[in-house]
Amino acid sequence: MTTVTAQDIAALVTTRVQHPERIAEMAAARRQPTGLVGSTGRLLLVAADHAARGALRAGDDPVAMGDRPELLARMVRALERPGVDGVLGTADIIEDLLLLGALEGKVVIGSMNRGGLAGTVFEIDDRFTGYDAASIAAAGYQGGKMLFRIDPNDPATPATMQACADATGELASHRLMSMVEPFISGRDASGRMRNDLTTEAVIRSATVAAGLAPTSAYTWLKLPVVEDMEAVLAASTLPVVLLGGEVSSDQDAQFAAWSKALTSPTVRGMVVGRSLLFPPGGDVEAAVDATVEMMTS
C-alpha cells in the first residue's frame, strides 16, 4: 500500500462498525519484529500520538494532524520506507494502521498518558488515559511510552511521577520496553506550558526519569537534542532515543544536530513525528530516507 484512498477509509470504518473484533484478531496474527532494532542497528519510530493530547500543529498549520485520512496516508508512506522500524501511537491510530495492514513486522510502542491536554490548566496532571501495560502485552506490542514533565511549581507533578514509576514497573514485569520522555517544565508569562531545553534542565530530567520504578532493566529515555548533548548523554547508562521535535524551518541544521548526537554509543535510535510526516516541502519519503541515511552513516 503506497497511499490511503477514500475507499480504504470507508472499509476501515465499516470494519469498526460491523466487525470490531477484527482489531484484536489482527493484532494477534500480526507478524512480530525480530527485535527492537532493525536493519540500521538502531530503532527508528514514526510518532503520531500528539493528537490525543490536543496538540495538532505541524509547522504553520495549527490543525495539520487533525485530518486523519491525510495523517494515515503520510504514516503509511513513512512506514513503507526501508529502515523505518515501527510506530509510536495511541490505540486509535495504531488500530487504524493495523486494519490497513501497515504494521506487519513492525515495532509498536503504545502511548500511555495523554491526559495532560495541551493548553489546559491541568496540563501537568498527565493522567494515563491511553494504553496500560496489560493491554500492550495482550496485543503483542513491544512497549509503552510515557511523557513525564516535572513542574517545580505545580503540585500535580508527584502524581504524574508516581504513575510513570508504576507504569515502568508494570511494563518491566512483562519484559516490555518503557520509553520515558522527561522534561523540566513550567508556565511562561502568558501561562503557556514550556519545556526547559537548557542542558542543565535536560540532564536533571534524565536522571530523575532513569531512577523511576523498582528496575530500570527495560527503561529507555526519549530525550530532546540540545546544545551540549555530550553532557546530557553522560547523565545515564540507559539507552536513549532522540526526540525529533517540532518541524524546523532549517531542516539542514536540524539534521546536523541529530547526526552529531547519533555518534554517541548511548543513542540507540530516533522517534520522529511531525518532522518526518510534515517536512518542509511535503516530501515524506525524502525526509525519511535522509534520516535513515544519517542513522547508518
Q: Is residue 99 part of a domain?
A: yes
Is the pLDDT higher at 39 or at 136? 136
Q: Is residue 75 part of a domain?
A: yes
Cell digits for 273? 513525528
Q: What b/e sequence results for 38-73 when a residue is b if at least 16 CB atoms lie within 10 Å of its CB, and e otherwise?
A: bebebbbbbbbbbbbbebbbbbeeeebbeeeeebbb
Strand runs labelled E in 30-99:
43-48, 86-89
DSSP 45: E
Enclosing domain of residue 129: 6-296
pLDDT per residue as tens digits for the range 60-87 = 888 989 999 999 999 999 999 999 999 9
pTM of the entire predicted model: 0.95
For range 15-42, the mean pLDDT: 94
* 77: CATH: 3.20.20.70
Q: Is residue 166 part of a domain?
A: yes
Is the pLDDT higher at 40 or at 219? 219
Q: Is residue 230 part of a domain?
A: yes
Q: What is the pLDDT of residue 295?
A: 85
What is the percent of the chain with per-residue pLDDT over 70, rounded to a whole number?
97
For range 205-216, the mean pLDDT: 98
* pLDDT grade for 22, boundaries at 50, 70 and 90: very high
Q: Is residue 1 part of a domain?
A: no
Show contacts of 209-217: CB within 8 Å, 24+ apart: 209/148, 209/164, 209/180, 209/182, 210/235, 210/236, 210/238, 212/148, 212/161, 212/164, 212/165, 212/168, 212/180, 213/165, 213/166, 213/168, 213/169, 213/172, 213/178, 214/169, 214/172, 215/169, 215/172, 217/172
Cell digits for 97? 494502521
Query: Facing residues of 61 across strands?
Result: 58
Q: Is residue 204 part of a domain?
A: yes
Q: Is residue 283 part of a domain?
A: yes
- Provide the domain count of the chain: 1
